[in-house]
Amino acid sequence: MLMRLYRRCMRTRYLKGEGMNKFISFLKDEEGQTSTEYILLVVVVVLIVVKFKDVAVSRLEQITANVFDKIDGIAQEMK
């Protein structure tokens, strides 16, 4: 995608010379991308959590019910 944009800009008159050098340095500059990447990662995690919230809640309820049933069974055997 960046290569297509680069080629397209190469054909235009206003980006030749100094403007083109500024454009290339802008594309190569990686400063500030880390915060954007972290924000995108957080958004993806939130979307996954929201999507599978109901499944996770029901599984956790099953697991806790099984654990307490086993504990109750062990307590009944000890009496």
pLDDT, tens digit, 9 for 90 and up, residues 21-74: 777 777 777 666 677 788 889 999 999 999 999 998 999 999 999 999 999 999
Write the secondary structure of the chain as one string of H (helix), E (strand) and C (coil): CHHHHHHHHHHCCCCCCHHHHHHHHHHHCCCCHHHHHHHHHHHHHHHHHHHCHHHHHHHHHHHHHHHHHHHHHHHHHHC
- Could you tell me the residue range of the domain that residue 22 belongs to? 1-30
Whether residues 40 and 5 share a domain: the answer is: no
Confidence (pTM): 0.41
- Which token pair is 54? 């109901």
Sign for the pseudo-dihedral over CA of 31, 19, 21, 16:
positive
Whether residues 25 and 51 share a domain: the answer is: no
- The residue ranking higher by pLDDT, 75 or 12, is 75
Whether residues 36 and 72 share a domain: the answer is: yes
Tell me how many domains the chain contains: 2
